[in-house]
Amino acid sequence: MSFSSLVQDLSLRDSGAPRRRAEASVSTIDDRASHISMAKSYTSTAATSVSISGDISSQLHAGYSHPLARTWQAERQLTKSMLIYPLFISDQDDEEVLIPSLPNQYRRGINRLIPFLEPLVHKGLRSVILFGVPMRPGTKDALGTAADDPEGPVIRSIQLLRRRFPHLYIVCDVCLCEYTSHGHCGILREDGSLNNQLSVDRISDVAVAYARAGAHCVAPSDMNDGRIRAIKLKLIEEGIVHSVTLMSYAAKFSGCLYGPFRDAAGSAPSFGDRRCYQLPPGGRGLARRAIVRDINEGADIIMVKPAGQYLDIISDAKELGKDLPIAAYQVSGEFAMIHAAAKAGVFDLKTMVFESTESILRAGASIVISYFVPELLDWLSN
């Protein structure tokens, strides 16, 4: 007998039953009412289950029905300590110039750094990454000799920031492209191709110079083969390997998202491009090999760059370097696109900034380098 038939049968029997003695009728009626109630309840439950696709494990809404419960669904919560803010440091001490292609971002001389950073540090800024920008005529040459100049913008900024903000974690990008006359990320052969051996030797010297000056972390972005091992060995020789983090731009892809950065840093190549040493956009296997290589050479942190278009590579990096922190650089082109779309009314800026950043964390990163850091410091406080 079906449950609907049972309900109908019990209802008919209840309505047509003869009256009996009072002492027996109360118990009988209670029993019948109980059976009817149970049957109706079961029928209701059975009917409800018909409307649900799947078994009881398909019921998910309760797990994110409350705002706090929604935050618990994320493996990583965005915090201020995860953020690194890029700074462009000019060798013109009093310069403060807006970068037109990079909204709200400036190239600053060393005398402008402290007034700019002080309020951000008070809001919770924990880390910056420094990019030197030589503007004086005659500074650039074929070997990038100004990169580790003790009077250059990076080394002077490291020393100043260490004095004024002792708790600020200072990362230094290590590359030659800003300092070479040709704009490439190393030393070239006569035919214009990259001389990997000479480039690695020069890059590792620059990294050690920044470390000696007080950088907490050196981050080579040149993508020359073997530079992580070379830097690690020189840090060991200097006796400072125990106190200087080595963050590798292990999976840095070539592409069109670096334009605003090159405007800011004056680092566009004077000829050709960087496709022979930066990774091709479709080269997932190459990226995985580069990540494994740099882990084996002694990298302490693995970085993926750009971020939004390469979430799969961030995920791969976390899989391959499961015991290492993974960083992702939301590059200048990503930043500019988000700003342009928000200005055009496509979406709300704050909403998209959080959505894009949280997707980077979801993919596996626990460090985010972003030009949105000043806004995020305010939004995370509120």
Model confidence pLDDT, tens digit, residues 169-216:
999 999 888 888 877 778 888 888 889 999 999 999 999 999 999 999
Q: For residues 10-32, give the mean pLDDT.
A: 50
The pLDDT tens digits for 342-374 are 999 999 999 999 999 999 999 999 999 999 999
Residue 189 annotated in ligand binding:
no
Give the Cα separation of 175 and 184 in Å (integer).
9
Output the pLDDT for position 34: 58
Asked whether residue 177 is marked as a ligand-binding residue, the answer is yes
- Kindly report, residue by residue over 35-59, the tens digit of the pLDDT: 555 555 555 555 455 455 556 667 7
Global pTM reads 0.83
Alpha-carbon span 152 to 42, nearest angstrom: 80
279-329 confidence digits (pLDDT tens): 999 999 999 999 999 999 999 999 999 999 999 999 999 999 999 999 999
Collapsed DSSP state (helix, strand, coil) of residue 248: strand
Whole-number pLDDT of residue 114: 97
* Residue 81: predicted pLDDT: 95
Rounded to an integer, what distance in angstroms lies between the CA atom of residue 335 and that of residue 104? 11
Q: Which of the residues 140, 232, 305, 318 is marked catalytic?
A: 305
Residues 6+ apart with CB under 8 A from 232: 241, 246, 297, 298
Instruction: Flag whether 217 is marked binding.
Output: no
Contact criterion met (CB below 8 Å) for 305 and 329: yes
Rg (CA), the chain: 31
Total count of residues recorded for the chain: 382
Per the model's pLDDT, the better-predicted residue between 116 and 57 turns out to be 116
CA torsion, points 321, 323, 325, 330, in degrees to nearest 10?
A: 30
Structure tokens at 163: 């004095």
What is the identity of the amino acid at 295? I
Decide: 277 and 330 in contact? Cβ < 8 Å. Answer: no
371 marked among binding-site residues: yes
Is residue 305 among the annotated active site residues?
Answer: yes
Which of 15-29, 87-101, 310-324 has the lowest average pLDDT? Answer: 15-29
Q: Are 305 and 331 in contact (CB under 8 A)?
A: yes
Segments making up each domain of the chain, as ranges:
76-379
Structure tokens belonging to residue 275: 């496709």
pLDDT on residue 75: 82
Does residue 235 contact residue 246 with C-beta atoms inside 8 Å? yes
Does 126 appear as a known binding residue?
A: no
Q: What is the pLDDT of residues 128-173, one digit of tens each?
A: 999 999 888 888 888 889 999 999 999 999 999 999 999 999 999 9
Q: Give the distance, in angstroms, between the CA of residue 29 and the centroid of all CA atoms in the same chain.
A: 69
Paired strand residues for 246: 218
CA pair distance 171, 238, nearest whole angstrom: 19
Report the distance separating Cα 221 and Cα 209, nearest Å. 16
The string of pLDDT tens digits covering residues 268-280 is 565 455 556 689 9
The active-site residue out of 123, 140, 232, 252 is 252
**CATH, range 76-379:** 3.20.20.70
Angle at 302 between CA 109 and CA 119, to 5 degrees: 35
Which contiguous run of DSSP H or E holds residue 247? strand 245-252
134 upstream amide cis, omega within 30 of 0: no
